[in-house]
Amino acid sequence: MTTPTPHPRTASRRRAMPTAALAATAATLALTLGGLSPAAAAPPTASPHAAPVDLGREVLPAGDGWASWSGTTRPEGVPRTAEPVTGGADAAPAEVYVVSDWPQLRDALAGRPGGSQNDARYNQTPRIVYVTGTIDPWERADGTRMTCDDIAGTVTVAGGGAFAMADYIAAFGPGIDPSGPLEAARVEAAAVQARATLQHIGSNVTLVGVGDDARIVGASLRIRDAHNVIVRNLTLSDAYDCFPQWDANDAGGNWNSAYDNLSVWTSTSVWIDHNTFDDGAHPPLSLERVYGRPFEVHDGFVDITHGADLVTMSWNWLQNHDKTDLIGSSDSRTQDRGQHRVTQHHNRWTDIGQRAPRVRYGDVHVYNNLYEQTALSLQESTPGVPFFQYYWGAGRESSIVAEGNAIELADASTVDRIIAGWGGTELSASDTLVDGEPVDVLAAYNQTAATPLNATTRWRPADAYAYALTPVDEVAGVVRAGAGAGVLDSGTPVATAAPGAFAVSDDNGWDTGLRDGDFTVRGDLWWGQNATVAKLFENGVLIDAAALSAATPAAQQVAFDVRARGNGTYRYEIVALNPYGVTTSRTHVVTVTDAAPGVAVLRASGVWANDVTVTMDLWWGQNATEYVLWKDGVEIDRHALTAATPGAQHAQTHVGALTPGTHVFTAVLRGPGGETATSPREVTVD
């Protein structure tokens, strides 16, 4: 038994591959794609030469499924007001990120460097996170790769040495549920992997891939306890579980994995659009058999559970996977009644085993999807058990409305398996094409079903949102042309690549001649691609950000006001970004020497008459905003001053009669950049 290291496949543009080659290739799938797809349910009309669209600022179109619905939802019984999905479209410039590796992704979703999973899970600040290239949590900073054995080696078995999955397998077997120290060690190793490869997505987020090669490989993304989330234009691949659990009581025994490519838990108002889901280098037929069952290292592609609600899945491509899409996790979760409302339209399902979707409790609308099979669907990962099980699973208290779907079967005799009953009582299926011909698939199911399904459902999609059906005879062509990641011309009309670097300057001392801590840091992008956002970092800390207007082919300028810096040296970088990437300027140093008020002079008058007045004069330097006077260490006067740098400042305090002896007066001038004390002034009264 081996535990291979998850690894990304080489990303490339989609190429045509003959069906015969697909039948012979179990490890990969690549079917012909081309053209563009719209965001709503209509055939593609955009030109291949259209300017790239900034998907980070796009919102869900009106009427686009349950995610466009407004009203009250109750995940886990807690009322929440839902609005149509906008994701991070309202993100401030400082909350726009471009990420190209796993630590950057985690920091962006957390909203701060080194942020925790709880930071990411509960963060509600609107954010846009652009993904470029391949992001892989198994890749270390030095370019080497973490392995399953590396993780196992960090765990010690009670009373023994380091944990190994091979020892676990050797210790148990068919009919035996694992327990004891080895099972405890497996659970601990699984927790170590989860900390390394599971990533939460919080509320008001748009997570979007840029171009046709944006991928997250070997990770599990989880939208949990969140609302208003968009995930678009990403290939989410191979959420590999190093330590699946053997369950001897699951249908005679099965290996159960913990990770979905994308899961939605207790979350509402989610749009999942134009993504590709696959198993990467570990498709079903590549899995070893242990205890006579596939050593299953994957769970679902997209699971929507734990009371999640108001989800639209559109224009996604789900490839060569067994348990693909679960809506509702358990029959016993009666609190999910009224939840799990999901729309699935214009998705492409290729050679999947089951769950497209399998539903518990939810009102689910399945329309204008393409379900296609090649010879891969006829292969058996377990001898004697067909790989293809069913598409639409009617589970407990579910209500599926299926309209205008196209189905292409490798074995036409399996038409009665398009639908499966899992305790449900109703399902409506209308205008379904099977291999190009209209077929009443519900009637085909009911002919052999022990418990037939009622064709009358408890709800009508049109009562919840407006939608337009693509004619069913056009669905296959439209969906093949438009579904999946890399189809949309994503990026920005402002540029075609990462921005150029800003030249940084400042005007410290230009206004008053004093390097006083109030200045402007200016950036000029003289050459290269334009940026959409500029961020100012001071000594490595983000202090300001600005959205930029396109100026191509002219230069771009940005200016940041910096105020109230104390004396010292400050290092500034301006980070330019657009969806394609990030560019950092050279470091620019600003030295502040005159931030604190200048040195004032104290004078005392009226001493001979013992009617003393103390006068402060500041002739040169930074003005103060406050004046404080002490006599013999006790404060006797304080008042505000009006700054007029480089003009002089003057203040006076009438002290009056003093007791005989020597008295010491001191004053402090304070301003935003610090404070300065005067020299003591002694006054002697006889």
Residues 577-629 have pLDDT tens digits of 999 999 999 999 999 999 999 999 999 999 999 999 999 999 999 999 999 99
User: Which residue is associated with the tokens 């099965």?
Assistant: 254
Identify the weakest region by mean pLDDT among 48-52, 429-433, 450-454, 671-675.
48-52
Q: pLDDT band for 50, please (50, 70, 90 cuts).
A: low
First-to-final CA distance of the chain: 102
**Residue 682, Cβ density class (10 Å: 0-12 exposed, 13-18 middle, ≥19 buried):** exposed
Strands (E), 47-204: 71-73, 80-82, 96-99, 127-131, 134-135, 198-201
Read off the pLDDT of residues 651-671 as tens digits, 9 standing for 90 and up: 999 999 999 999 999 999 999
Question: Coil, strand or helix: which one is 669?
Answer: strand
CATH architecture type of domain 503-591: Sandwich (2.60)
DSSP H/E element including 442:
helix 441-448
- Scored b (16 or more CB within 10 A) or e, 328-356 reads bbeeebeebebbbbbbbbbbbbbbbbbbb
The answer for 671, left when phi > 0, alpha when psi is -120 to 50, beta otherwise, is beta
DSSP H/E element including 109:
helix 102-110
Please tell me which residue in 355, 396, 565, 670 is annotated as part of the active site.
355
Does the N-terminal peptide bond of residue 4 adopt cis geometry, omega within 30 degrees of 0? no
Same fold, 200-482 and 601-685: no
> Does 74 qualify as catalytic in the annotation?
no
User: Which residue is associated with the tokens 């392995």?
Assistant: 147
Q: Where are the domains of the chain?
A: 200-482, 503-591, 601-685
**What CATH number is given for 601-685 in this structure?**
2.60.40.10
Report strand pairing: 276-278 vs 419-422: unpaired
Task: Flag whether pLDDT at 11 surpasses 80.
Answer: no
C-alpha to C-alpha distance for 305 and 328, rounded to whole angstroms: 5
User: Which residue is associated with the tokens 């002034």?
Assistant: 681
φ, ψ for residue 45, nearest 5 deg: -130, -10
What's the confidence (pLDDT) of residue 553?
80
Task: Flag whether pLDDT at 129 surpasses 50.
Answer: yes
Q: pLDDT band for 381, please (50, 70, 90 cuts).
A: confident
Read off the pLDDT of residues 385-427 as tens digits, 9 standing for 90 and up: 899 999 999 999 999 999 999 999 999 999 999 999 999 999 9
**What CATH number is given for 200-482 in this structure?**
2.160.20.10
What's the confidence (pLDDT) of residue 6?
56
Task: Flag whether pLDDT at 18 surpasses 50.
Answer: no
* Cα 643 to Cα 517, 593, 626, 649, 671, distances in angstroms: 14, 18, 9, 8, 9
Q: pLDDT band for 51, please (50, 70, 90 cuts).
A: confident
What's the confidence (pLDDT) of residue 43?
36
What's the confidence (pLDDT) of residue 250?
87
C-alpha to C-alpha distance for 666 and 681, rounded to whole angstroms: 6
What's the confidence (pLDDT) of residue 421?
97
What's the confidence (pLDDT) of residue 40?
34
Mean pLDDT value across residues 444-459: 97
C-alpha to C-alpha distance for 291 and 313, rounded to whole angstroms: 36
C-alpha to C-alpha distance for 27 and 359, rounded to whole angstroms: 29
Read off the pLDDT of residues 79-103 as tens digits, 9 standing for 90 and up: 999 999 999 999 999 999 999 999 9
What's the confidence (pLDDT) of residue 15?
31
Give me the chain's average pLDDT, please. Answer: 92
What's the confidence (pLDDT) of residue 16?
33
Read off the pLDDT of residues 626-642 as tens digits, 9 standing for 90 and up: 999 999 999 999 999 99
Read off the pLDDT of residues 233-279 as tens digits, 9 standing for 90 and up: 999 999 999 999 999 998 889 999 999 999 999 999 999 999 999 99
Read off the pLDDT of residues 283-331 as tens digits, 9 standing for 90 and up: 999 999 999 999 999 999 999 999 999 999 999 999 999 999 999 999 9
